Amino acid sequence: MVNLSRMMNKINKIFGSPPVQLLCRLILGGLFIYASLGKILHPDEFAKIIYDYLLFPDFTIYFIAIVLPWFEMICGFLLVSGFMVRTTSILLSVLMISFIVALSINAIRGLDISCGCFSTSGESRESLIISIVRNLVFLIPGGIIVFFHQAREKFHKGIFSLLLD
């Protein structure tokens, strides 16, 4: 029992350390900022990709195509800047899980659709299985933040407090 407790303390110390937390925030936040850019610039193309998923009523497609990229962008910036870190990580992890579910449904259906993850070009198609695996890997930094983040102050100073510590 003592070895298990010691091992858990080491894991908490490593994954909860400021450099690991900063790296995970920059990876996950940067990923969502990058993913949002093409969708924000080309909402019509993104709406076509959402439509191809065949999961949403037609009247919701443009609403999703407009709101989702801005939500991704705002959450990405919150995470990178260090504000509401755990909450934002939970939101982005839930979003990533919903993407995995949507991709999985269409992989089971056998549809050949564009993921829409990083490009709004309908021509950029990759295997849905590859997209699912990639999204599962992207869940790792979110999980590390959710389970090991320890806010050191009531008001978190953001990225600069970690760089100056």
27, pLDDT greater than 70: yes
User: Per the domain annotation, does 147 fall within a domain?
Assistant: yes
**What is the Cα–Cα distance from 60 to 56, expressed in whole angstroms?**
7
Of 40, 41, 122, 104, the closest CA to residue 74 belongs to 40
User: Per the domain annotation, does 57 fall within a domain?
Assistant: yes
Using 50, 70 and 90 to split pLDDT, how confident is the model at 162?
A: very low
User: Per the domain annotation, does 11 fall within a domain?
Assistant: no
Question: pLDDT digits over 99-147, tens only?
Answer: 999 999 999 999 888 888 877 765 656 788 999 999 999 999 999 999 9
In this prediction, residue 1 carries a pLDDT of 56
Question: pLDDT digits over 44-70, tens only?
Answer: 999 999 999 999 999 999 999 999 999
User: Per the domain annotation, does 59 fall within a domain?
Assistant: yes
24, pLDDT greater than 90: yes
Number of domains in the chain: 1
Range of the domain at 77: 17-164
User: Per the domain annotation, does 71 fall within a domain?
Assistant: yes
- Taking the C-alpha atoms of 96, 100, 105 and 107 in order, what is their torsion angle to the nearest 10 degrees? 140
Phi/psi region, residue 82 (left: phi>0; alpha: psi -120 to 50; beta: rest), is: left
User: Per the domain annotation, does 4 fall within a domain?
Assistant: no
User: Per the domain annotation, does 24 fall within a domain?
Assistant: yes
Could you give the maximum distance between any two Cα atoms of the chain, in Å? 58
User: Per the domain annotation, does 130 fall within a domain?
Assistant: yes
